[in-house]
Amino acid sequence: MHPTETTTPAPRGAAPADYVIIGAGSAGCALAYRLTEAGRRVTLIEFGGSDMGPFIQMPGALSYPMNMPRYDWGFASQPETNLGGRRLATPRGKVIGGSSSINGMVFVRGNPMDFQHWADSGAAGWDYAGVLPYFKRMETWHGDPDGAQTSPLRGTDGPLHITRGKRKNPLFNTFIKAGQQAGWPRTEDYNGARQEGFGPMEATIWKGRRWSAANAYLRPAKKSGLLTVVRGMARRILFQGKRAYGVELEMKGRIVTLEATREVIVSASTINTPKLLMLSGIGPADHLAQHGITALADRPGVGANLQDHLEVYMQYTSLKPITLYTYYNLLGKGRVGVEWLLQKTGLGASNQFESCGFIRSSEAVDYPDIQYHFLPLAVRYDGKSAAKGHGFQAHVGPMRSKSRGSVRLSSADPAAAPQIRFNYMSHEDDWTEFRACVRHTRRIFDAPAFAEFRGAEIQPGDDVQSDAQIDAFIREHAESAYHPCGTARMGAASDPMAVVDPELRVIGVEGLRVADSSVFPRITNGNLNGPSIMTGEKAADHILGRPMLREDA
């Protein structure tokens, strides 16, 4: 199946592990914490390095780490046919904390109906009543600076701190008010009783720092003395017959073996998890054969079902000089950075996503399928270009695209990047939903609340009105929101396209599970970091054989 290679045991000093987890990202860190909390020995493999640099820990610097090869795998899609042949960036965290260390820190659980769909798709026990207790267990919710601090639907003593920005810039509350004037409700907590509406946005920020899965879970887990973190590249999962017993790892130029006495868990991301499964002989047999790999378990769902959120930036000039453009220069950034370094306060202590909205594209839709992030600056998400002058923008896009893509091997070489094809905008409904995004957004910015602030429409521009013109704008300007998921779909064990069963066990082999966003049957509303961490939390109880928590909302 593979070229003959000389392997050596794990480095001396690495304690024998009950469990080996591949990937110190959102789910992997949560899982490591809960397993060590239960007294189990865990070895956690991570290819990336330290997350302690200021570009990661300072929330206001979020555009930097996702564009730094030191922290990001640097993946890109294959040319996307429906987006003019563009290759879209697909950042994934290559660092302790994984993508929770390079993301925008926005915290969204998802809609209760998302999880009902999971359960209806064969993921028994993953309905809202089955996931709500894990969302609560994982968080300490700090409420609103000017409002409610407690809620029966929110957690009070979990490792992950969830906070809201102070919304000092008047544009944040103007966006919320404008949404109401345009005909939508206000929601006090989109992660609580009602997602639909406009309100304050929540973030994984605590005391002015990015509160990643590494800060929330991994550092406390290390204190147990039961966790060993090993740096290296996981090459494949090792089997005796059909039972996983360890991981082959490239470490400092050597090939070593890390063994697990109980199970191996893959938490390597929606991109790297299917790649690793396929390199290990789990995947579509015909595709594996093309790369000289013998199928141990023929699972055609591995690498299939790839989903993501696309978005466009609707940008406007500001009539008042109150936006972040004031600080979008070397001196301004320096002042913000110094204040954060000295006091962990100021603009650097916020991701600047402090208000948001969740709405339905039409009355025919059961629950919100459009998300808004508002930003008091007209700039690309990656920070590479800003409008010349004061402006603001809304990131907007549909939440439940019917398009599906794939992750496939480009080579049997573990160091080779996989081929990523999202097939963005390949379903006709995507275009209808995106046109609704553009037109609804214009209604919001045309509301009376924005009259004193809103100048000209920078992007797409007032001349873009017809369906064809809007479609051309989308084709040229839509960008990924960096929410890939679904490539190791959870479902009933009898489902030929499912990769893991509802206990996250890989179907067709033993001793192997997957716990990360790759198991999502369908993408959830909003940003995926929250559901990914929840998956790690719930996975721990499955692995430990504990009774599963349930709570009716």
Cβ proximity of 279 and 303 under 8 Å: no
pLDDT tens track for 432-443: 999 999 999 999
**pLDDT reported for residue 13:** 45
Cβ proximity of 275 and 294 under 8 Å: no
**pLDDT reported for residue 3:** 32
pLDDT tens track for 101-150: 999 999 999 999 999 999 999 999 999 999 999 999 999 999 988 777 88
CA distances from 24 to 29, 31, 518 (A): 5, 9, 15
Cβ proximity of 122 and 495 under 8 Å: yes
pLDDT tens track for 51-62: 998 999 999 999
Is residue 399 marked as binding? Answer: no
Coil, strand or helix at 239: strand
Residue type, 36: T
- 2 vs 485, residue with greater confidence: 485
| Joined tokens for residue 505 | 């066990």
pLDDT tens track for 232-271: 999 999 999 999 999 999 999 999 999 999 999 999 999 9
Average predicted confidence (pLDDT) for the chain: 95
Closest C-alpha among 2, 39, 1 to residue 17: 39
Is residue 108 marked as binding? Answer: no
**pLDDT reported for residue 65:** 93
Cβ proximity of 241 and 55 under 8 Å: no
Q: How confident is the model at residue 553 (pLDDT cuts 50, 70, 90)?
A: low
Is residue 113 marked as binding? Answer: no
Burial degree of 305 (CB within 10 A; 0-12, 13-18, 19+) = buried
- Report the C-alpha gap between 448 and 323 in whole angstroms: 19
Q: How confident is the model at residue 367 (pLDDT cuts 50, 70, 90)?
A: very high
**pLDDT reported for residue 383:** 64
Catalogue all structural domains in the chain, each as residue range(s) with its CATH number. 1-78+88-159+205-302+485-553 (3.50.50.60), 166-200+310-398+425-477 (3.30.410.40)
**Is it the case that residue 206 has pLDDT exceeding 50?**
yes
**Is it the case that residue 387 has pLDDT exceeding 80?**
no
Express as a percent the part of the chain with pLDDT over 90: 93
19: enclosing H helix or E strand: strand 17-22
| Joined tokens for residue 116 | 């009902």
Closest C-alpha among 117, 121, 113 to residue 492: 121
| Joined tokens for residue 252 | 């400092």
Is residue 530 marked as binding? Answer: no
Q: How confident is the model at residue 362 (pLDDT cuts 50, 70, 90)?
A: very high
- Report the C-alpha gap between 134 and 146 in whole angstroms: 27
**Is it the case that residue 14 has pLDDT exceeding 80?**
no
> Which pTM does this prediction carry?
0.96
- First-to-last C-alpha distance (Å) of the chain: 49
Establish how many alpha carbons lie within 13 A of residue 359's alpha carbon, considering only the half-sphere containing its beta carbon.
29
Q: Catalytic residues, which ones?
A: 483
Is residue 215 marked as binding? Answer: no
- Report the C-alpha gap between 263 and 260 in whole angstroms: 6
